[in-house]
């Protein structure tokens, strides 16, 4: 039961289409399923780490250090702007690109979204609230040793499974559509994705800078 609840949490946090979702769609359309799914897996792994911190009660440290949240907002916003610029300049590759994408590219896709998701302080705050709402089983601080991890383990695994399931569906559907779309249309989608991601980045960067003023 706890695994299923945590899986629902992972799915609900991953599902809203934000900058990571747009990035996954754009990469799946332009470079194929493996590249898009690697993008989603980076976010899923970051969600699992935040889920672990939330389950252990460590996540509260982030809310007690507003300076850390500010730095993360600025860094994440700047990275989103750079990513938007890169996407806008990128040309869609051939429609059989899924077989042509080297491992280095998929590893880079994984690492960019992994770091980007970790830089979003709102993710960890969301996990704090959701895990608190789950009840006593979600706050195993009173448990000791192996019994504590018997609770934490299914929670983290559930968060990862739910998040990964969403990215699997999103990247698979986007890659399937990409094979039927003309290159010019895919290029237009890439530009639109770059614009949306750039707006997200600008908003996050401005929000971070305002805390410094």
pLDDT tens sequence across 143-185? 444 555 676 788 788 889 999 999 999 999 988 887 777 766 6
Residue 114 pLDDT? 92
* Cβ proximity of 51 and 126 under 8 Å: no
Instruction: Tell me how far the alpha carbon of residue 104 is from its chain's centroid.
Output: 20
Percentages helix, strand, coil for the chain (3-state, rounded to 5) are 85, 0, 15
**And the tokens for 123?**
């993710």
Please tell me whether the overall predicted TM-score, pTM, comes out greater than 0.85 for this model. no
d(CA 203, CA 22): 16
Q: For residue 144, give the 3-state DSSP assignment.
A: coil
**And the tokens for 160?**
């990862």
Instruction: Tell me how far the alpha carbon of residue 24 is from its chain's centroid.
Output: 9
**And the tokens for 153?**
């383990």
Domain extent, residue 68, equals 2-212
**And the tokens for 96?**
């059989």
**The total number of structural domains that make up the chain:** 1
43-47, 102-106, 137-141, 201-205: least confident range:
137-141
């Amino acid at each position: 039961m706890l695994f299923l609840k945590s899986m629902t949490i992972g799915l609900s946090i991953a599902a809203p289409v934000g900058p990571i979702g747009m990035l996954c769609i754009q990469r799946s359309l332009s470079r194929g399923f493996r590249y898009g799914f690697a993008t989603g897996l980076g976010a899923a792994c970051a969600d699992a780490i935040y889920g672990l911190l939330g389950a252990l009660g460590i996540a509260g440290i982030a809310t007690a250090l507003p300076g850390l949240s500010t730095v993360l907002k600025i860094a994440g916003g700047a990275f989103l702007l750079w990513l938007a610029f890169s996407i806008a300049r990128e040309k869609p590759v051939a429609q059989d690109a899924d077989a042509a994408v080297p491992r280095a590219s998929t590893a880079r896709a994984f690492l960019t979204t992994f770091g980007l998701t970790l830089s979003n302080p709102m993710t960890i705050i969301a996990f704090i609230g959701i895990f608190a709402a789950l009840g006593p089983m979600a706050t195993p601080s009173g448990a000791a040793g192996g019994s504590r991890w018997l609770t934490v383990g299914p929670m983290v695994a559930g968060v990862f499974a739910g998040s990964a399931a969403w990215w699997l569906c999103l990247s698979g559907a986007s890659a399937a559509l990409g094979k039927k779309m003309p290159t010019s249309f895919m290029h237009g989608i890439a530009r639109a994705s770059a614009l949306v991601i750039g707006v997200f980045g600008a908003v996050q960067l401005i929000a971070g800078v305002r805390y410094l003023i």
